Structure 1
Amino acid sequence: MEFYPMRRRILPIAVLATLLLLSAAGNLVTAFADSLANDKIADLKIPEVVARVNGVDLSSKFVKFEFARMTKNLKGDLDVKQKTQIVREIVNSEVVRELMYQEGLAQNKKAAPQKIDEEFEAMKSGYATEAEFQEALKERSITAAELKKSIEVELVARNLLDDQIKGSIDIPDAEVKLFYEDNKKDFFRPEAYRAQHIFASLYPMEAFDKYSQQELEAHREKYDKDAEKKINGILKEVQSGKDFGELARKYSDDAGSSSKGGDLDFIYKGVFDPAIDEAVSKLKPGEISGVVKTPYGYHIVKLNETRPAEFAPFNDVKEAIQEHLFMAKAKDKAQQYIAELRKKARIELFF
């Protein structure tokens, strides 16, 4: 457990319900966005119908999509035993999702057509054209109607779980305080610093869309010279006394911080490239570095504040502890609820 990051919030119930649902159930929507069908499990002889829940058949193609998503970044091959275990876990997840969908309908939970359309259009927006989107559907052997149906299942199941959790879990302050005292070692915060930076990327963002990695590497020297020239020009403006934050907004290639004037919030040593840590270690609050080179490009860093290693004060981590305890109780409650649904259901597994 780590509780020392500065920005922690209590999760909204709807978000929490989604996280719990996705941890217990497969997600065709995610699979559609992230994966293509592949032949990694062709040797498993998965039947067309992998399970039946209260008479409703669950198709194997959804299981294959989820398998592809889960394994697409794995290096090396999985053996048959490993593949079988993963597929069975996915089948179980699909069973849970269908169970919750059916129970949601029984309790008159519905997914608003407008919300279904919004989710559907959000997926389409990830493609340049309608034709490209339709081709993606074809590659996955999915129809638009099937995709919308999966969105409906997801929303209904999410709403059901939301209602099961909402207002049913109490986290007294005394429980939060006790957890803090019992686990104080987990609240140790390493030395940190708060800084702003201006970043000149080694490769311009548009180059990633135009060229392959091999082509980028072939022109690395040219891109490096361009980035160095850019950062040196910015440094001259910094040294002339211009506002650092405004220059970051105007020039920085770091999309995550440029709109905030380059503010990186508190950073723990070792999170960024060592060259950044080294440059910061030579600064006093308010001072600005020269040009700092990293494998990603060039930086100018302004140190605003330092914070020594310490145990985080209770008030700094109170919300994070509440979130942790709430999630643990909510997960238990969700699992108990799913177990109850299973007992009442007629479930047949074919893999």
Structure 2
Amino acid sequence: MKILKLSLAFFVVQLFYLYQINAENLNAVRVIVNGEIITEFDINKRAYEAFSIAGQTYSKSELESKKTEIVQNAIDELIDRKILVQEAKKLLAEKPELSEKVEKNVDSFVKGAVDQVGSLYKFYELANKQGINPLQKRAELKNDLLIEEIMRENVYSKIIVTPKKIKNYYRDHVDEFSMKGSMSFRHILLKFSSYNSKEEGKTAADNLLNRLKSGEDFETLAKKHSRGPHADRGGLWSLDEASGFRKDLVAAISHLKEGEISPVIKSSLGYHIFKIEEVIAAQTLSFTKVQDEIRNTLFREEFIKKKKAYLKKLRKRVVIQRY
């Protein structure tokens, strides 16, 4: 985490100098959208947020290679936001009642935030500590709500996800909703190398099995006698870990039920005894269980397409000047 923070700090410093052909400081104008400016500071702030998110996925070298792309995406996002807010303000001029609705929603959100921290004084105090200008934040929130209105009017309302599309998606992607069977278990391994002969090892394994069948605790015996991985925690292999266990041995115990103890099983390493902890059967989730998830997936896909088309249409009527 410390390395990531240092890397991000390094990128922030670099961002202050990236794409500054005519920019001398953070107040330099980089883009003008229908007369409204986007500054170097605006771009660096948006790019830093993008780097913070990307840093959770990419290594430092990968971030370095994507630096130009991330900054350019930040610029495009800011331009799109300007365009959408400008378009939304036109809608306010046509529907004055909408302005009152948006203001009420902003007030409601701020009131909720104030109530959460206890008082308006506390709200401003916390905001200042975090370097947040409450008035600026309020203006950003209002723009967010305006964009939501314009999206509802021109994008959301045009998205139709029919039952047929949902069923077709389920049919074509049924593998996405299939779950393989899995199990968790406890394991005891008596290695050949721990005994003078294989016969002696087999006798020790049989004795352990008899003690287990007589009711002795598997976890306790595994901690004491097992020489296998996870012996220190009673030989427990979780559902996720068991998927990496030897396939031949897992196949040998796959028929056992929860709570059952296996016979002694011989391998190239030694003798094994298993106790099944949990079994999850293979299954395919029914259409009824996943149809809402599919509907949301299809809605998101359509939203991305229609938003892109809507912005492309708006950009044709917008004057964008880059510096």
Q: TM-score range by the shorter chain?
A: 0.5 to 0.7
Does residue 134 (structure 1) correspond to residue 128 (structure 2)? The answer is: yes
Does residue 178 (structure 1) correspond to residue 168 (structure 2)? The answer is: yes
- Residues 67-86 of structure 1: matches in 2 within 5 Å? 67-72=47-52, 73=55, 75-76=59-60, 82-86=66-70
Which residue number corresponds to residue 323 of structure 1? 296
Which residue number corresponds to residue 66 of structure 1? 46
Could you tell me whether the CA contact under 8 Å between 2:34 and 2:318 is conserved in 1? yes
Which residue number corresponds to residue 137 of structure 2? 147
Query: 1:160: how far off?
Result: 0.9
Which residue number corresponds to residue 308 of structure 1? 281
3-state SS in 1 of match to 2:71: helix
Could you tell me whether the CA contact under 8 Å between 1:165 and 1:334 is conserved in 2? yes
Letter in 2 for 1:133: A
Pair 1:122–1:70, CA change in 2 (3 A)? farther
- Deviation track 1:185-229 (CA, whole Å, cap 9, x = no partner) reads 222123369xxxxxxxxxxxxxxxxxxxxxxxxxxxxxxxxxxxx
Pair 1:130–1:272, CA change in 2 (3 A)? farther
Could you tell me whether the CA contact under 8 Å between 1:169 and 1:326 is conserved in 2? yes
Query: 1:81: how far off?
Result: 6.5
Could you tell me whether the CA contact under 8 Å between 1:98 and 1:153 is conserved in 2? no
Name the TM-score, length of structure 2 as normaliser. Answer: 0.55
Could you tell me whether the CA contact under 8 Å between 1:190 and 1:269 is conserved in 2? no
Could you tell me whether the CA contact under 8 Å between 1:53 and 1:99 is conserved in 2? yes
Which residue number corresponds to residue 314 of structure 2? 341
Letter in 2 for 1:93: E
Does residue 44 (structure 1) correspond to residue 18 (structure 2)? The answer is: yes
Once residues 63 and 183 of structure 1 are traced to their aligned partners in structure 2, the CA distance between those partners, rounded to angstroms, is: 40
Letter in 1 for 2:178: F
Once residues 19 and 304 of structure 2 are traced to their aligned partners in structure 1, the CA distance between those partners, rounded to angstroms, is: 34
Once residues 340 and 97 of structure 1 are traced to their aligned partners in structure 2, the CA distance between those partners, rounded to angstroms, is: 14
Once residues 113 and 44 of structure 2 are traced to their aligned partners in structure 1, the CA distance between those partners, rounded to angstroms, is: 19
Could you tell me whether the CA contact under 8 Å between 2:88 and 2:150 is conserved in 1? yes
Once residues 131 and 173 of structure 1 are traced to their aligned partners in structure 2, the CA distance between those partners, rounded to angstroms, is: 51
Once residues 43 and 80 of structure 1 are traced to their aligned partners in structure 2, the CA distance between those partners, rounded to angstroms, is: 14
Once residues 271 and 63 of structure 1 are traced to their aligned partners in structure 2, the CA distance between those partners, rounded to angstroms, is: 44
Which residue number corresponds to residue 33 of structure 2? 53
Once residues 70 and 272 of structure 1 are traced to their aligned partners in structure 2, the CA distance between those partners, rounded to angstroms, is: 37
- Residues 114-129 of structure 1: matches in 2 within 5 Å? 114-120=104-110
Once residues 146 and 97 of structure 1 are traced to their aligned partners in structure 2, the CA distance between those partners, rounded to angstroms, is: 16
3-state SS in 1 of match to 2:60: coil
Which residue number corresponds to residue 154 of structure 2? 164
Could you tell me whether the CA contact under 8 Å between 2:31 and 2:37 is conserved in 1? yes
Once residues 58 and 272 of structure 1 are traced to their aligned partners in structure 2, the CA distance between those partners, rounded to angstroms, is: 54
Match of 1:270 among 213, 224, 240: 240
Which residue number corresponds to residue 90 of structure 1? 74
Which residue number corresponds to residue 199 of structure 2? none
Letter in 1 for 2:158: S
The percentage of counterpart residues that share the same residue type is 16
Once residues 182 and 110 of structure 2 are traced to their aligned partners in structure 1, the CA distance between those partners, rounded to angstroms, is: 43
- Deviation track 1:78-106 (CA, whole Å, cap 9, x = no partner) reads 78764232111101001101101111110
**Higher percent of residues as helix:** 2
3-state SS in 1 of match to 2:38: strand
Query: 1:165: how far off?
Result: 3.3
- Aligned residue pairs total 216
| Structure number with bigger Rg | 2
Query: 1:273: how far off?
Result: 12
Which residue number corresponds to residue 85 of structure 2? 101
Once residues 98 and 313 of structure 1 are traced to their aligned partners in structure 2, the CA distance between those partners, rounded to angstroms, is: 44
